[in-house]
Structure 1
Amino acid sequence: MSLSYKQRVIMNQQDKNISIAQRMISACSGSFITSLVVTPFDVIRIRIQQQEILPEPCCQQHFPKHYSYHLKTTPLLKQHPPELFWIHNKYCNAAENCTKITSTFQGFSQIIKNEGISTLWRGLSLTLLMGVPSNIIYFTGYEYIRDHSPISKHPLNPLFCGSLARILSATSIAPFELIKTRLQSIPTGTGTSQHVLTHLLKDSFELVRNDGISTLFKGLQITLWRDVPFSGIYWSSYEILKSRIAIFLNTDFNTNHQDDWKVFTTSFLSGSISGSIAAFFTQPFDVGKTRLQITMEENQQVKKTNMFKFLFNIYATEGIGALYSGFGPRVFKIAPACAIMISSYEIGKKFFKNGNNKIN
């Protein structure tokens, strides 16, 4: 057994010195800052990913009730093109000139110019609402499962536990994630964001009345295909990088107050690198999730298309680049999000460990 793995086991055993409630508080500590920093990148990512199915020009003053779908598509989609849910009325009377977003920072510039800077933080309230329960379930769930797993001493344990924790977390917030994705995809017109959100919530309740509660879980399957492997890859990479950087910096994750900066640095670097690696391997699923959640797809044959066929159709008709559209803003979002959350979590745990040791 390698030295780094031994240190990982020791660190995991030391984590048992804090309670579940203390872990929950630690998990929430970085949610607000993380959401504030990464929400603009989320908006840009979603806008880039929906461009492929937008009519041209993308934001005319008035949308026609039906538009011709002239992009490269499969024969099935030529007959029954996916329709953006906000394309008809009440959502968008946006600027006549809606320039195509070609990069993350060009997207910032265009949205600020055409729609106002506040649009970059659209969905922030929902992000915060999701962040608290999601991070509690995800971080505390991961460590609880990790410490009680029947394969807790196996090197693949982080992959298994991270994946299971993400299934629980993603399923619990799926309805909020659907509404947030749809909210961020709508270009700002004459109405305020609150006006758009009000209409969106009314439409969501109407869909639930007509088609059942399952409509709020649209895209969950592909979300799990994105988030479960992401979490497995993330936690496996994080545990390895954390132990190796900790050895290099001689980091004490326990009670040494002088090591707080080392704990932060070790966690921050490990979290950002691990998040970037996981984002690369799961990007195609992120593209598929966004497209599914912002389209109507009323045709039953399209609805029955399974996830792998859906992604293969994108690859076959639009190329591999389409499966990695929005990758830049997603990495700009994920790297700091993972870094801030995990470093806040580790610092929070260290704070509680110090307090518990003083009491004992």
Structure 2
Amino acid sequence: MSLSSELAAGSMEEHDLKFGEKFVAKPKVAIPENDISITQRMISACSGSLITSLVVTPFDVIRIRIQQQEILPQDTCCHNSLKVESVPATGRNTLVKHMASPSAMAKAAEATPELFWMHNRYCKAENCSRITSTFQGFACVAKNEGVGTLWRGLSLTLFMAIPSNIIYFTGYEYIRDHSPISNHPLNPLLCGAFARIMSATFIAPAELIKTRLQSIPSDSKTSSKVLNNLLKDSFSLVRQNGAGTLFKGLQITLWRDVPFSGIYWSCYELFKSRIGHALNADFDNSRGTNDWKVFATSFFSGSISGTVAAFFTNPFDVGKTRLQITFEEGQKPGGYNRNMFKFLINIYRREGIGALYAGFGPRVMKIAPACAIMISSYEIGKKFFKDGNNHN
């Protein structure tokens, strides 16, 4: 502690003793030297991005593949195009029994949006098969498309992670600490939601490219050309339809991410308080022996909170994936309505509740460790800087 701070503290104590009968001493707040700067918070927010991205990207690839299978015909995989006479994936329940007439089959095919990559420029794989589980998907993709495909989009993920985490984590804590309802139980929910709106909007174009890139099956020979072709197609769409095409799916992304963020931060603050109290973890004081308690508290709180939030928002994740990997509206008859609720209700009516939770397994396997690693890295990073500031 600096000499000026000691003098200020001594003066405050003397003032309280002398005028204690007339005035009520205000609670002492943390002095600036003990706090951490915005830059230090930003560094802490980025510290876990690399590890998190390396761990969770394969789960993201499998999640997207499983979700897009729901709009593929049952007897068809990536190398065959959708045809009018094909029975869509919606027929996996009772629909197949009612597809007797050609007109009914044509109507069902129209109701199924076509994937943007279903032509030879992207898909030439002949041996790919449908994914039935997360780990079977790992083996299937690695065998037919190469192990590197499981980390497809990693560079874009890292490119997005740095600005996204800076805006999200730093923004959340700044808004939380300066909110007019900072002591209200709803404060974490509202502040987390607002921080997510800012970060999701900022990285929306890169998120669109990443989702499309991870959805494209290909053999190991053509894998290197996929990103190049995708970027050419994206720039072509921008020239034809304007920059707004890069924000396709942003609305439904916000419907997924904003509730997720609100639920996550509300649960995290709750579990952090409960688990931290049980472990006697101190997130503020400088004690090296306390670091493992801070890590354990934030790790488990983040993991549990991420799982809870993922469960409630998975239908929006399914909708986001489908919307972003299908043709633009107007290019194909029978395209999905942009209204988010109608979009999801149509999926539910045609395919059942199970379709809205497609890919939930790999999504949880991605989100739980991602949230745990990111928040624990962030908390430990902040504590590291606080400890360093205290010793200066």
- How far apart are 1:263 and its partner, in Å? 0.6
TM-align CA RMSD: 2.1
Partner of residue 35, structure 2 = 17
Say if 1:151 and 1:157, in contact at 8 Å, map to a contact too. Answer: yes
Partner of 2:87: 70
Which of 34, 53, 59 aligns to 2:78? It is 59
Aligned to 1:30: 48
**2:196 corresponds to:** 166
Confirm whether residue 340 of structure 1 aligns to residue 359 of structure 2: no
Within 5 A, what are the aligned runs for 1:1-360? Answer: 17-55=35-73, 56-60=75-79, 63-64=80-81, 66=83, 68-71=85-88, 72=90, 78-94=109-125, 96-189=126-219, 191-254=221-284, 255-296=286-327, 297=329, 298-299=331-332, 302=335, 304-359=337-392
1:77 shift after superposition:
5.9
Change in Cα spacing, 1:14 to 1:28, as seen in structure 2 (3 Å) is farther
Shift of 1:142: 0.3
State the SS of the aligned residue for 2:78.
Answer: coil
Q: Secondary structure at the match of 1:98?
A: coil
* Structure 1 residue aligned with 2:23: none
1:277–1:309 Cα change, 3 Å: same
Tell me the CA shift for residue 236 of structure 1.
0.1
Partner of 1:4: none
Amino acid at match of 1:21: T
- C-alpha contact 1:137 1:168 (8 A) present in aligned 2: yes
Contact 2:188 2:262 in 1 (8 A): yes
Cα distance per residue 1:202-238 (max 9 Å; x no partner): 1100000000000000000000000000000000000
Distance 1:307 1:65 in 2: 25
Question: How far apart are the structure 2 equivalents of 1:212 and 1:92?
Answer: 27
Question: Which is greater in Rg?
Answer: 2
1:92–1:190 contact (8 Å) kept in structure 2: no
Deviations 1:289-347 (A, max 9, x none): 00000000424763544110110111111010000000000000000000000000000
What is the distance in 1 between the residues matched to 2:232 and 2:186?
Answer: 45
Task: Quote the sequence identity (%).
Answer: 71
Q: Which amino acid aligns with 1:288?
A: G
Change (3 A) 1:50 1:100: same
CA separation of 1:67 and 1:91: change in aligned 2, threshold 3 A:
farther
Q: Please state how far the C-alpha of 1:189 moved relative to its aligned partner.
A: 2.4
Unaligned runs of 5+ in 1: 1-9
Shift of 1:99: 1.9
Q: In 2, are the aligned partners of 1:57 and 1:98 still within 8 Å (CA)?
A: no
The Cα of 1:201 is off from its aligned counterpart by 0.4
Once the two structures are overlaid, the 10-residue window that deviates more, 63-72 or 317-326, is: 63-72
Q: Offset of 1:69 from its aligned partner?
A: 4.6
Once the two structures are TM-superposed, the CA of residue 114 in structure 1 deviates from its matched residue by: 1.1
Q: TM-score, normalised by structure 2?
A: 0.84
- 2: CA distance, partners of 1:20 / 1:144: 9
Distance in 2 of aligned mates of 1:234 and 1:190:
38
Q: Gaps spanning 5+ residues in structure 2: where?
A: 1-26, 96-103
